[in-house]
Structures are given as C-alpha cells and as structure tokens.
Amino acid sequence: MLPTILDLTSLRAAYEAGKSPLDIIEIVIARRAASTDPAIFITPTPEEILRAEARALTERAPEPNSLPLWGIPFAVKDNIDVAGLPTTAACPAFSYQPQKDATVVARLRAAGAIVIGKTNLDQFATGLNGTRSPYGAPRSVFDKNYVSGGSSSGSAVAVASGLASFALGTDTAGSGRVPAAFNNLVGIKPTPGLVPNVGVVPACRSVDVVTVFAPTVGDGVAIRKVMEGYDAADPFSRKAVPANLPASGLRIGVLEGAEREFFGNRQVEALYDAAIERARALGATIVPFDYTPFRQAAELLYNGPWVAERLAAVKEFLATNSDDFDPTVRAIIEGARAYDAVDAFEGRYRLEALRQKTRSKWEKVDFLMLPTSPTTYTVEEMQADPIVKNSHFGRYTNFANLLDCAAIAIPAGFDASGHLPAGVMLVGPAFTDDAMAPFADAMHRAAETGMGKDRKAALPEASRVILPADDFVPIVVVGAHLTDMPLNHELTRVGGYRLRAARTDDSYRLFALNGTVPPKPGLVRDPDFSGNGVEVEVWALPPAAFAHFVQNIPAPLGVGKITLNDGTCVTGFLCEGHAVAGGREITEFGGWRNYIRAVSPAA
C-alpha cells in the first residue's frame, strides 16, 4: 500500500517492487475522486488520458525508474500551459487551448512525469491567499475554515493531500512559498531566470518564477534540476553561475527588534524562535540583522510601479472583459493606471538604492531565515478584508524576486494545539539554490513535522540533501548519462545528482560512436582544434559509487580530466582516439542532446 504522501522515494520503491505507472495512476484517480476539497482542480486530466499516458510511458521507457521522474504524477498551476488541457488563469472568459507544453512541463514530461490536472489559483496569479477564484477557494489540509495560501493554492493542496507527488506553482510575491507553509510542505523558489517561463501566463513578467511544491527538500531540488536550464525563447532566462556557501559555520540572518512583525500571532512567532534554536543546534551562527531595506523593497511590488506589469500582462483582455475579473484582482490591476513611465524609472532607482543598502547585510550573513508568513487567517477573515490581510502574508516574501534571491520554504512545526502549521524560509543571493538546500533539508528533518497532511511520516533517507563538497566526487557526463538520457538512472539510482550544466573548452570534438547500445558519443580532445565547446553536465557521486561506476565503463570509453570553458578541470568521460575513426563527427551540433533531437525529432 502506498503512503498518504506520494514522495519520490516511496513511488520509486513501489516501481522497483513491481508496480506499474498504470497502477499508480489508478490510485491517483481513486484519490482524486475521493477528495473532499472540490476547489483543488480547475481541469483534472480525464481518466482515460491519464491511463493512456501511463501506457505510453511504459512503451517509451519499459524499465522501471529508467527516467528521472518515471511514472511520477504531478499537478500544474493553471497559468502554466499543458498541451491538451485549457489554460484559464482562473478566469473562464480568458481560457485558451495551448498547442504545446510550457518549457518546464515539456522537460518534466520528457523525464517521465505524468500531468494529473490543472490546479486552482488566485485569478491571474494575483494574491497570496487562495480565495480569489471563481472556481472556489482550496482550503488548508488541516482545517477547511482556513485559507490554503495562494496564488498557487490548488497546487499546494494537491501535494499535501496526497493526490500528486509534486506540483508546479509560480511565485511573484511569495506564491510558491506561502501555500507551502500553510500545508506543511517544501516550496522551492528558484533564482529568477534559472527556470524558463515560456508558456506561463505572466503576473509580473520581469520577476515571475516557476516553483515546486514537494514533500521534501531533496524531492523539490531534484525536480527543479529537471526544469532548469537556459531557454533563449524566454527573454529573462539566464545561464546559472552556481554560488557556494561554507560547508560549516554558516551565518544565518534573523529578524530583530521592530522588524519582527507577526500581526499578533504569538504561535507563529514562537515557532520562528524555535526554528532559530534548531539552526543554532545544527551549528549555524545566528546573526540578527536589520530587515528594513528588504521590507522597503518588498513594498515596491504592490505599492510601486511594478503593479503596472500586472496590467501589461492582461491589458487587452481587461479592456473588453473587465466584468469577468474577480473584484479584488481587478482593483489591484486597475490601480496600475496611476503610474506612468516616470514612475517606473523612479521605482527602479528606488529599488537599486535599496539593493545597495542590502549589500552590507549580505556581507555579514550567508543567507537569511525568515517566517514564510507571519500569520494566517480563515477564509471568512480574508474575504472581509482582502487587501490588508493578503498584504500580511507577503511581508517577508515580496522582496525576494525584486532583489534576485533564491528561496526555500520549509515546515517549522505546528501551533501549541497541534492545529495549524507555520514555516520558515531560507533566502540567499542569486544562484545559492543548491548551496542552501542541505541546510534547508537538515532544518526540515530536525523539525519532525512529517510531510503534508501526514504529520507522522518520516522523511526518507534517500531524499536527504548533502553537500557534494563533503565527500562526493564530481564527474563530467557527455552522452547517454545526461539528464533525460537512457543511462541517466545509473547516476540517480546510486544517489548521484546533477551539479550543473557546463561546456568544455574549445579544444574538444564529439563523435557518434558506431554500434553502441544505447547510442553513445565519444569526446576527444584535439589541441589543434578550435571550436565552440561541447555541452556536458557535471554530476556528483558518492565515492563508492564513483569507483564502481568508473570500473564498469566499457571500452573504448574511459575517464580523464576534461577542461571546461571556465578553466576548471573535472574527471569525465573521454574516448580513445582510434574508436572515432570512421565515425560521424557531430561537434557542430554543440552536444549530444542536440544531435539526438536532430536525428530523432520525437526524442
């Protein structure tokens, strides 16, 4: 029998034990039908389509767990395109039928994941509470009287109630984090630009981020790594430059003085204080800091010209369909008409001035630990005062994208009565996404909150996140071991995970080897060659797994030092020169993945 929460470890174990994706889909269908919250989904994937997707997956990849997310069911916030399902952004009159998946959905599906439905949201992703939708208000899995958090409300509830292994949300002001806190989940908010937004209905295009709700930090990071990567079709997409943090002796910034605002909720304040003590017990140095410039930056998102981006996203539709908007959403978006181009520049100047003020704070800490939300409210309380109460939720979240930060929201425990959960966030400078993850995972485990609505669930050891720098060994992979490729499972099965995408320096040539199954390339260094480099990935393996892996590499492949275009040298796959004689040179494609796509467009 499957556990209540469908974490990756449990599902992979079920598959290894003989369950099929169709078996899991039948369980999801049954759970979805039995759900007591009718507002989770806007468009559930029809049952027959789900069954067909499961069958197609086993035809495409018959071996269990042979893809990174083989047979993993997930839900998608309904402002993110999924081919075959309408995108509504929680506004029926706005609905359209996308012809293709959003980039992130396409990457997840290629990795073997199965979309179980489109989830409810605050209309046009405008809100942090989950009550601004004509499709109803999804509720906290712990008390139906309380909000679920928004705007990614349905996505969080789908995971927390055991309907999906993970779900996609979006985050402009905190929408990928607040619902995680209210439903005892992890919320992964990547650095802006790390994950592409192509195929996403924007809220504020310049600061929107696609996020992940997951039961554990390890699951969330693994899923984010499948989604991330530069996409030239997204004007705000960026190539990551991973930032490092110390392996020990972390300095964590915490709130002090008048900036500690919980709007009278002493229960959440107590849980925040308890989280600080857990961080201290885990070896962190606690550094009180002045939150003022961060708060002032946060205020710009709704009380500054950035609200005009919300109008830019829907201005044509608003001009003809204003009556189709939720009244609160319409009031917020129409408020953008008060701003002009001068205001936009002045807002930018103000933000950059505040960014300068935050630099001195970052010099003293490695990352911040903040309450995810300082309080929560019932649906009735929220609807009675929707603007003010909603703003309370964003006090500590709104600045993160404006100031180019990564964040991971984690559970922090339940109130004294054991009734409602609260959470904390780790927030770091750009591209500290991976560097923060081990401490976030340790904090989640120390809190002993379970996962989602299952408060007794033990976090799987297999999902533990550790720093590769501690004892993992990096290795460069070139072909069949890349993410989404046929042999990638040989890395993931032994606890390896991807550190980053990379490129060799310009002295490497790539060839398609003859007679290899599955097809493999050969990477050869030619000191006299000058190209544009070859796309590769750097993975990290446990030492024993690395030794076993290297020992079993078949000739003519072997390992040696590969020079990357940033000047670093990493052990990786190389090929004996004689083996490429007569083989097809494919250097012009820039990498193995591009070559496979060219020769097998459906791959």
Please count the other Cβ atoms lying within 10 Å of the Cβ belonging to residue 87.
Answer: 23
Identify the sign of the CA torsion 202, 203, 208, 213: negative
CA distance 148 to 130: 6
CA distance 203 to 307: 9
CA distance 272 to 424: 7
Active site residues: 77, 151, 175
Q: Which amino acid is at 452?
A: G
Pair 137, 153: CB distance under 8 Å: yes
Q: CA distances (Å), 121 to each of 232, 272, 476, in order?
A: 28, 27, 40
Q: Helix and strand tally (H, E) in the chain?
A: 20, 21
What does the block give as tokens for 375? Answer: 């309080």
CA distance 81 to 43: 12
Token pair 């905190």 in the structure block, residue: 174
* Secondary structure (DSSP) of 401-462: HHTT-EEEEEEEEE-TTS--EEEEEEEESTT-HHHHHHHHHHHHHHHT--BTTBTTPPPPGG
Token pair 């601004």 in the structure block, residue: 132
CA distance 248 to 42: 45
Q: CA distances (Å), 446 to each of 18, 273, 441, 535, 543, in order?
A: 33, 14, 9, 39, 26
Please count the other Cβ atoms lying within 10 Å of the Cβ belonging to residue 4.
Answer: 18
Give the start-end residues of each E strand in 3-162.
41-44, 73-77, 114-119, 139-140, 143-147
* Secondary structure (DSSP) of 457-484: PPPPGGG----HHHH-EEEEE-STTSTT
CA distance 577 to 217: 42
